[in-house]
Chains A and B, each alone.
Chain A
Amino acid sequence: MNEEEIITILSEVRDPEIPVLTISDLGILRRVEYTHDAVRIQITPTYSGCPAMDIIQADIRSELAKHGLNNVEIKQVLSPAWTSEWMSESGREKLKAYGIAAPATHACFLDGEDKPESCPLCHSKNIEMISRFGSTACKALYRCLDCREPFDYFKCH
Chain B
Amino acid sequence: MTLRNRWRQSLSFFMLTLTGICAVVAVSLLFLILGDLFYNGWRSVDWDFFTKLPLPPGETGGGMANAIVGSIEIVLLATIMGLPVGFMAGVYLSEFGGKTFAFLVRYMADLLNGVPSIVIGIFVWIVVVRRYHFSAYAGGIALALILIPITARSTEQFMNAVPQTLREGALALGASKWKTIATVVVPAAYRGIATGMILGVARISGETAPLLFTSLNNQFWGAGLRDQTASLPVMIYSHAMSPYDDWHRQAWAAGLVLLIGVLFANVAARLILSRGIAVQK
Do A and B truly interact? no
What is B's interface to A at a CB cutoff of 8 Å?
A: none
What is A's interface to B at a CB cutoff of 8 Å?
A: none
